[in-house]
Amino acid sequence: NAGVTQTPKFQVLKTGQSMTLQCAQDMNHNSMYWYRQDPGMGLRLIYYSASEGTTDKGEVPNGYNVSRLNKREFSLRLESAAPSQTSVYFCASRPRQGAADTEAFFGQGTRLTVV
């Protein structure tokens, strides 16, 4: 049981390049999330998808777009990367919309550097 799988694990981009971070979960969860982690700031929510077909902005959505391709997959796209987007990105999933008492399961993270 793989859980939440993120690809790639590491990436270096030049300023202005675009890329898509992929996330897939095999637990039949409805809700999926993208976070970024920066030193001293904890994890901040970029976008989330409460269920297939819906997406909503989180705390720091600027410069990002998302696609909930199907129930399993939730991708994060950087259209024009900036050095301020250098961070570690985590994808997470939870069983169902409204399941506030359930924990989130996290991927291993993508370490992105924009030069």
Contact positions toward other proteins, by CB under 8 A?
31, 33, 35, 40-45, 48, 50, 58, 90, 92, 94, 97-101, 103-104, 106-109
Instruction: Compute the least distance from the CB of residue 87 to other proteins, in Å.
Output: 14
Query: Which amino acid is it at 2?
Result: A
Residue 92 CB, nearest approach to other proteins (Å): 8
Which CB, 46 or 78, lies closer to other proteins? 46
Structure tokens at 16: 């202005």
- For 20-75, the DSSP string reads EEEEEESS--SEEEEEEE-TTS-EEEEEEESSTT--EE-S--TTEEEEE-SSSBEE
End-to-end CA distance of the chain: 36
Place of tokens 């970029």: 46
- At 102, the amino acid letter reads T
Q: Report the residue number, 78 or 92, with the smaller CB distance to other proteins.
A: 92
CB of 57 to other proteins, least distance (A): 11
Cβ distance to other proteins smaller for residue 31 or 85: 31
What is the nearest approach in angstroms of other proteins to the Cβ of residue 48? Answer: 6
Nearest residue (CB) to other proteins, 56 versus 79: 56
